[in-house]
Amino acid sequence: SRNATTSTIRTLDVLSNLVPKEQSRIKNFKTQYGKTNIGSISVDMIYGGIRGMKGLVYETSVLDADEGICFCGYSIPEYQQLLPKAPGRAEPLPEGLFWLLVTGQVPTDEQVNWLSKEWAKRAALPSHVVTMLDNFPTNLHPMSQFSAAITALNSESSFAQAYSEGVNKAKYWWEFVYEDSMDLIAKLPCVAAKIYRNLYREGSSIGAIDSSLDWSHNFTNMLGYRDATFTELMRLYLTIHSDHEGGNMSAHTSHLVGSALSDPYRSFSAAMKGLKEMGGEVSDEAMRDYIWNTLKSGRVVPGYGHAVLRKTDPRYTCQQEFAFKHLPDDPMFKLVHQLYKIVPNVLLEQGKAKNPWPNVDAHSGVLLQYYGMTEMNYYTVLFGVSRALGVLAQLIWSRALGFPLERPKSMSTNGLMTLVGANNSGKDEVSKEEGGEGKEEQKGEVEGRGMHKMQYTYEKKGLCWI
């Protein structure tokens, strides 16, 4: 079991012991239950972004509609209590969360300290990446710079080299993915800080990594923030945004690209390319009118609602607790808290929202703004640094467990209508638009973007590629 305890301080040593046991456990499970049906698929699910369909195995976290996110079985309040913290501080260290996500075990202080020093040792950027970042124009979005730099770091990939040399996959691939993931996580704060300094601090130096400091502390130092409470905020931020099960955009993208045996640099860069920006006193009545006007104009209230959750996001709650502790009188925090009291009731009154409660994005910005990080275009870069912890931990396990290329079956609307026995608006079951002439069966050849020729058969039951 991944939850067995160990005294080893190196993550790789723990994994080397866990991986064969987990491989055997899953092999036996598939042998016994591989043909078991676990659910059904509706037409609404297919047209609705495949929401709610059980179609992925993702080991590191599970999102429950009522309880929120759990990391290897631990809720946010639970891991906040259990994970190691910096001396004299209250927030858990992201290093501890990564250890938990990779091994399923709560780490010791010694194990977390080893991880902090290991990431410090691996943090240096290759010169070509530094040069590329310095040559980017200032009007290039921070996330474009971030994803481009991650792609360029592919030059350092142990997995890519091993794959090209034909190293045995079953025994060794996951170890190379582990090494790449450790290197990439170590380097991300340097990349992110370099972008921040170039765009907002006149290209000033990020300074040097201090091996005696934890990952978050080095990151805030490189950004140029010396407030100890801001570093505490960063520890909180980097843990709560790290993972959110496998179906969200960034996690699923990294899983999909990784399943094609792309290295962690390219897989994580692909995940980053889909992320978008997050983004005087007001009376309750004025606030309520503003929210209603927003909804009546066809817009949504940013930061409220969630595709899965049906309660206040626990990630919102822990940020709210941080604000009550460190900035209770801040006007912007008061405004956020005012929204928390008013928006859910308005959304419930409107009657459209399945979940009227705030999610994590409703609170992150006000905390960063309070400590002086006002550059909102940059906030998604911080999210990206955090999300690496979760998706790369899963990528290690995906290769360790030999997950194959992800390849779901798609259907055309006509084929789907035929499958469910619907009246296809009077059209022949094979439309001319899709290559048919109203016959029961058509055969031909299709050019596969200049790469392959594929024969297809279109029968009454739908379009079938051979």
Q: What's the mean pLDDT when you consider all of the chain?
A: 85
Based on the domain organization, do 180 and 290 belong to the same domain? no
| Helix boundaries (H) for 201-274 | 215-223, 228-240, 249-259, 264-272
The single residue listed with the structure tokens 């499958």 is 419
Q: Residue 443: helix, strand or coil by DSSP?
A: strand
| 432, pLDDT greater than 60 | no
Do 436 and 353 share a structural domain? no
- Are residues 454 and 327 both part of a single domain? no
What single DSSP character describes residue 304? B
The 10s digit of each residue's pLDDT in 337-387 is 888 888 878 877 777 777 777 777 778 888 999 999 999 999 999 999 999
Q: What is the pTM of this model?
A: 0.84
The pLDDT value given to residue 51: 82
- 290 and 353 both lie in a single domain: yes
For residue 145, the domain's CATH number is 1.10.580.10
In a domain, 375, yes or no: no
Tally: H helices and E strands in the chain:
19, 6
Residue 380 belongs to a domain = no
- Give the range with max mean pLDDT: 2-11, 76-85, 456-465: 76-85
Q: What are phi and psi of 90, to 5 degrees?
A: -105, -25
Q: How many CB atoms lie within 10 A of CB 372?
A: 11
If asked whether residues 180 and 91 sit together in one domain, one would say yes
Domain shared by 318 and 404, yes or no: no
pLDDT at 456 over 80: no
Residue 455 has pLDDT above 60, yes or no: no
Q: Do 302 and 339 belong to one domain?
A: yes
Domain around 404 = 1-276+389-408
Count up the domains in the chain and report the number: 3
Do residue 440 and residue 308 come from a single domain? no
Note the residue count of the chain. 466
What is the DSSP-derived secondary structure letter of residue 107?
A: P
* CA dist., res. 374 & res. 315, Å (int): 21
pLDDT greater than 90 at residue 296: no
Strand 74-75 relative to strand 61-64, pairing: unpaired
Residues 130, 151: one domain? yes
